[in-house]
Structure 1
Amino acid sequence: MNSERYEAEKTLDEVRLITGRTRVFAILADPIYHVKTPQTMNAVFDDQGLDCVLVPFHVAPAGLAALVGGLRRMQNFGGFIATVPHKTSMLDLCDEVSIAARHIGAVNCVRRENDGRLVGTMLDGIGFVEAMRSRGVDVAGMRVFLVGAGGASSAIAFGLADAGVRHITVSNRSAVRAVELAARLTAAYPSLSVSTDASDIGDHDLIVNGSTLGMLPSDADPIDFTCIHAKHLVADAIMEPSMTPLLRAARSKGCVVFPGKPMLDSQILLMARHMGALPVNQA
């Protein structure tokens, strides 16, 4: 056997093969190009020696219900992660959702039971808080300025409230949705100070962009960048680009910044457990 053939066969042996026994998982998004979950989750599967694979599914909102209906019938399908813009829609497409998901009004991780039932939960908020903690930041007692009132923003808001922040200002292009999120926060956390008056950004400790603004070059700025000062902590839930216009502007002013990817890293094992790829008690 010559050396080139040996190296080729050795490489094939080292590649995890997808077979008819492989358990399939997915991430659902529109657009799909920016997602980082397949790389991160498949690295976990490799590390754990699991015969599983997670693949990206590009599905527009109009086709979401039909796709989910088909996934129910795939007997080698274990579950999926839902991201922009499908998190809120998934709430009504699941057969059962966690209390947290019901409060937040969105689902980002779904397990398919053997009988085809879909069980959803929401892990974005936990992931965000844990990502902050991994950088040595305890959000308890902070005043937070949150951009967005959709699925990711709502999850982050509830995660922050659960972690003990003192105040949350919700800023959203649709004032009605901002008021709705503020009302849900107040109902769940009566002692939390909540506002939808976004006129004063400066009087906050932490600025969080939970919206999609900044994903595309043509997007409007999520906030007025001139209001950022060096004492602000600034975080963005967007994965791609990793350094959004908001984070670049904040860094130029001397702020400590928090990109979106660590939020995914902090919840990836939780997702694998919820979908049944890993035992609930496995580290």
Structure 2
Amino acid sequence: MGANLIDGSSKVYGIIADPVAQIRTPEAMNKIIAKRGSQAVFVPFHVHADNLRTFVAGLKAWQNLAGFTLTVPHKEAILALCDHLGPMAKITGSVNVVRRAADGAWEGETYDGLGFVAGMRSQGLDPAGAKIYIQGSGGAAKAIVAALAETGAARISVANRSQPRAAILINRLNAAYPGRCVPGGAADLATADIVINATSLGLHENDPLPIDVSALSSRQIVAEVIMQPQVTPLLRGARARGCRVHEGIHMLTGQVVEIANFLEI
């Protein structure tokens, strides 16, 4: 599987993030491009949050820029910059992929949650009927909670350092999936079947743990959304407690094909 020649007819795709060095998406997407024989390349874009609007406005002038994906910290801010939203993006208030429509409009959708569920199932894990504890209420958390609710999780407890922010997510999801989501507390963490870190804590070795590992038990599954490092301090701590761990890379592998199809790569 060799790399395609980049020439004047090539389309460009990318991922917008800050930081971006840890991102694995270009590697995964360029493998799909090579496998499909597409005349395209997928590259990283390092963009600070306060520059997102200017950067995305500039992309509209880039005629062979056919679409892009996004991750931390841009998944919610991009909503206001999209002209149209897909059904999951409307439910979650989060976008992780944007494509250029025939009329030049930006169309946004999110596959984070669907990719997370697909990644779990690829590893023999099924969240249907499970009690879930999720830490975080940002873009990734919103998409994952929606997908878990759609999949049939029995109860989804949402915890966040900002309780008002968590309440917004809970209310938003309960409007689409009545009674499925509740505020998460210590008791929910202890009784959950699956514990998920959907925050950015763990990207850096000196980050505080997002979840109290001393509250975990060996019957639980502990999952990450962070892809690099592949084994975060949280996963190391959970494994030491006897938990089965689920690495963040599976969320990417669970959604890259669907994202490639959405972008028409």
TM-score band by shorter chain is over 0.9
Match of 1:120 among 83, 108, 121: 108
Distance across 2 between alignment mates of 1:65 and 1:159? 28
Which residue pairs with 2:75 in the alignment?
Answer: 87
Give the match for residue 205 of structure 2: 217
Residues 235, 258 of structure 1: 8 Å contact kept: yes
CA distance in 1, matches of 2:35, 2:227: 23
Correspondence 1:264 to 2:252: yes
Q: Which of 40, 49, 66 is matched with 1:61 structurally?
A: 49
The sequence identity of aligned pairs, in percent, is: 42
Query: Does residue 21 of the first structure (1) align with residue 13 of the second (2)?
Result: no
Superimposed CA distance per residue, residues 35-62 of structure 1 (whole angstroms, 9 cap, x where no aligned partner): 0000000000001111111000000011
| Distance 1:274-1:120 versus aligned 2 partners, 3 A rule | same
CA contact (8 A) 2:133 2:188 kept: no
Aligned to 2:33: 45
Q: 1:252 to 1:32 in 2, by over 3 A?
A: same
Matched, 1:205 2:196: no
Instruction: Give how far 1:92 is off.
Output: 0.7
Residue 216 of structure 1 deviates from its aligned partner by 1.0
Return 184-193 or 167-176, whichever deviates more. Answer: 184-193
Contact 1:209/1:237 (CA < 8 Å) preserved in 2?
Answer: yes
| Residue 151 (structure 2) aligned to one of 163, 166, 185 | 163
- Are the equivalent residues in 1 in contact too, given 2:4–2:40 (CA < 8 A)? no
Query: Could you tell me which amino acid in structure 2 is paired with residue 74 of structure 1?
Result: W
Secondary structure in structure 1 of the residue aligned to 2:254: helix
Whether 1:70 and 2:58 are equivalent positions in the alignment is yes
Q: Secondary structure at the match of 2:190?
A: coil
Whole-angstrom CA distance in 2 between matches of 1:197 and 1:209: 14
- Deviation track 1:67-124 (CA, whole Å, cap 9, x = no partner) reads 1111111111110001100000111100000121011011000001243210000100
Q: Which amino acid aligns with 2:214?
A: T
Conserved 8 A contact 1:27-1:38? yes
**3-state SS in 1 of match to 2:257:** helix
Secondary structure of 2:13's aligned partner: strand
Q: In structure 2, do the counterparts of structure 1 residues 193 and 268 end up closer, same or farther at CA, with 3 Å as the change threshold?
A: closer
Contact 1:179 1:196 in 2 (8 A): no
Task: Give 1:152's aligned residue.
Answer: 140
Q: Is the 8 A contact 1:207 1:232 kept in 2?
A: yes
* Paired residue type of 1:167: R
Contact 1:25 1:80 in 2 (8 A): yes
After TM superposition, the score normalised by the length of structure 2 is 0.97
Distance 1:163 1:65, change over 3 A: same
Tell me the SS of whatever aligns to 1:246: helix
Q: Give, in angstroms, the shift of residue 154 of structure 1.
A: 0.8
Q: CA separation in 1, counterparts of 2:3 and 2:151? A: 41
For the 8 Å contact 1:205–1:232, the answer to whether it is kept is yes
Give the number of aligned pairs: 264
Deviation at 1:218, TM superposition (A): 2.4
Q: Whole-Å Cα distance in 1 between the matches of residues 192 and 203 of structure 2? A: 24
Q: Report the RMSD for the aligned CA atoms in angstroms.
A: 1.2
Residue 174 of structure 1 is matched in structure 2 by 162
CA distance in 1: counterparts of 2:188 and 2:73, whole angstroms = 29
Larger radius of gyration: 1
Residue 166 of structure 2 contacts residue 183 of structure 2 at CA under 8 Å; is this kept in 1? no
1:135 is matched by which residue type in structure 2? Q
Which one of the candidate residues 212, 215, 236 is aligned to 2:224? 236
Query: How far apart, CA to CA, are the structure 2 residues paired with 1:103 and 1:220?
Result: 31
Closer, same or farther: CA 198–176 of 1 in aligned 2, 3 Å = farther
The answer to whether the Cα contact below 8 Å between 1:166 and 1:193 also exists between their aligned partners in 2 is no
Give the TM-score normalised by the residue count of structure 1. Answer: 0.91
Which of residues 183, 187, 202 in structure 1 aligns to 2:175?
187
